[in-house]
Every structure is written in C-alpha cells, then in structure tokens.
C-alpha cells in the first residue's frame, strides 16, 4: 500500500545552512503521525516545502498517489492537503463565519456568487457548532483570544474536507483546557477518516495522541516508530540531549 504523503530526499538550503537535508518520510493513510525534533531541526521548513510555500532544492513529494511537480498552496488545498501555522493565522478583518466561508475552496465561478450564501451559512454553522464557536460567529477575527484563533484556524482548514491535515504546533501558547479541546477535535476528525501530520513540542500530547512518531534532526529523519520505540532510541536521546 502506498502512503498518503511520501517525501523523498527533500533538501533545502538557505545560504550555507542546510535546513532540510535529504529528508525522507511517509504518512500512512488513517494515522496521526507526529513530526518531532529539537528546535531548528527543519520541521517547519519541511512543512513549508510540502505545502508549496517554499521551493525545494531537491527531492520529490507525492500526495494521494500522485507526484506533486510544482507544489502550490492553493491547488494542494483544493486537492485535500490543509495546514495550519505555528502562529495562528486567521483573517482579522473578516467575521468568524467569513473566516470559515473563505476557506471553503470555492470554484472560480463561485467567486461571482453571493459572499455568504445560505449554503455557506449552514455548512460553516455546523463547523462552528462542532467547535463550540457559534456564539462568536459574528465577531471579527481580531476580537478572538489566541486560543480561539487557533481553534478557528483549525476549523477553517477543515472546510475543504481535507484528506490530510498538517498541524504546526497546534497547542503552542494555549492554556491546558484548550490543549484538551484541541486534542478532542483532532481525535474526532481522525475517527471520521482524516489523516494528520503534527509538529508538536508537547511530548505528553505526542505520546498520547500520535503513532507513528518521526524524528527529525538537522534536517534529516533519524528515527521512526511507535512513541515507545522512539522514546528509547539512543539516536533520539542524543539529538535532544547531546551536544
């Protein structure tokens, strides 16, 4: 069986620094895969390349059985690969409802239709209900707290019914209750068949939630396995604790 996302030999240099160095990884359909590694190990850069925000110097990416020749964020999103950002990025001047509608990946013809149609309202309404954001529906994005923004960003990228969601530190900077909320939402979506690739520093969450875990160090994959295997892998311990 081929993986949902396959990355092979990915390399990216910034001047003299090789941020991602012949990185190879796979995300199997139906998993919640974690991507961990010390600061500066290239996790976010790898995310940016996979989602088309950065151009790789070398390497290949395949998504859903198809080779991605020229990754473009918009077309990947429409094909079912969504992502969130480390710093939650929402549209501050749009209402919470509009933040969801704008992410519903409409066609070019859809552009010429009503800004927020009855259908949009219904679909976004369901999503807001699921994320318990209904009462905030008419507020502007700028009026939300940081945790609420993270939730909203997550909810928004689900509007396109993605196959694979890349979450970049979904719980960074949010309170413990919100971490649980986030975890619950990830689990419930996972049950519905969405595959996840998560960059996360909260190791307890990673160990609870994810399987398998991929470890990156200096831009290369150094280990892959179940949380238990990775925790005891000497290479991993060395990467995190060694000099």
Kindly state the number of chain residues that form the binding site for other proteins, as judged by CB under 8 A. 34
C-beta closer to other proteins: residue 110 or 193: 110
H or E segment at 36? strand 32-36
C-beta closer to other proteins: residue 77 or 131: 77
Tell me if 53 contacts other proteins by CB under 8 A.
yes
Tell me if 45 contacts other proteins by CB under 8 A.
no
- Span of 20-28, 33-41, 103-111, 177-185 interacting with other proteins by CB under 8 A: 103-111
DSSP 176: H
Tell me if 146 contacts other proteins by CB under 8 A.
no
DSSP 74: H
Beta bridge pairs of residue 215: 36, 223
Tell me if 22 contacts other proteins by CB under 8 A.
no
Query: What are the structure tokens assigned to 39, written together?
Result: 């600061």
C-beta closer to other proteins: residue 72 or 226: 72
- Span of 21-29, 56-64, 153-161, 225-233 interacting with other proteins by CB under 8 A: 153-161
C-beta closer to other proteins: residue 43 or 83: 83
DSSP 202: -
Residue with token string 């919470």: 96
C-beta closer to other proteins: residue 22 or 104: 104
Residue 105 beta carbon to other proteins: minimum distance, rounded to whole angstroms: 4
Applying CB under 8 A, among 111, 192, 204, 243 the residue interacting with other proteins is: 111
Burial class (CB in 10 A: 0-12, 13-18, 19+), 55: exposed
Q: How far apart are CA 197 and CA 153, in angstroms?
A: 16
Our CA dihedral for 150, 110, 52, 99, rounded to 10 degrees, sits at -10
Which H, E and C letters describe 5-26, residue by residue? Answer: EEEEEEEEEECCEEEEEEEEEE
Q: How far apart are CA 96 and CA 234, in angstroms?
A: 46
Tell me if 85 contacts other proteins by CB under 8 A.
yes
Tell me if 51 contacts other proteins by CB under 8 A.
yes
Site string for other proteins, 160-179 (x = CB under 8 A): x-------------------
Applying CB under 8 A, among 6, 21, 26, 98 the residue interacting with other proteins is: 98
Our CA dihedral for 125, 129, 130, 136, rounded to 10 degrees, sits at 90
Q: Which residues bind other proteins (CB under 8 A)?
A: 51, 53, 72-74, 77-78, 82-83, 85, 89-94, 98, 101-103, 105-106, 108, 110-116, 156-157, 159-160
């Amino acid at each position: 069986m081929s993986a949902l996302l396959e990355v092979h030999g990915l390399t990216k240099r910034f001047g003299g620094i090789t941020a991602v160095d012949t990185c190879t990884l796979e995300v199997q359909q139906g998993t919640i895969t974690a991507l961990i590694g010390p600061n500066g190990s290239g996790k976010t850069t790898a995310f940016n390349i996979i989602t088309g925000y950065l151009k790789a110097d070398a390497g290949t990416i395949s998504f859903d059985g198809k080779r991605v020749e020229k990754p473009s964020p918009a077309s990947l999103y429409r094909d079912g690969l969504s992502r969130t950002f480390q710093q939650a990025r929402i549209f501050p001047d749009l209402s919470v409802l509009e933040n969801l509608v704008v992410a519903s990946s409409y066609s070019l013809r859809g552009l010429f239709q009503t800004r927020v149609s009855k259908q949009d309202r219904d679909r976004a309404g369901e999503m807001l209900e699921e994320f318990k954001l209904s009462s905030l529906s008419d507020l502007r994005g700028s009026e939300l707290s940081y945790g609420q923004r993270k939730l909203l960003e997550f909810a928004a990228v689900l509007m396109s019914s993605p196959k694979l969601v890349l979450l970049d530190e979904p719980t960074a900077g949010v309170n413990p209750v919100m971490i649980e909320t986030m975890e619950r939402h990830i689990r419930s979506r996972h049950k519905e068949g969405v595959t996840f690739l998560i960059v996360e520093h909260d190791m307890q969450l990673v160990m609870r939630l994810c399987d398998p875990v991929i470890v990156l160090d200096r831009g290369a994959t150094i280990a892959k396995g179940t949380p238990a295997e990775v925790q005891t892998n000497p290479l991993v311990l060395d990467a995190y604790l060694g000099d």
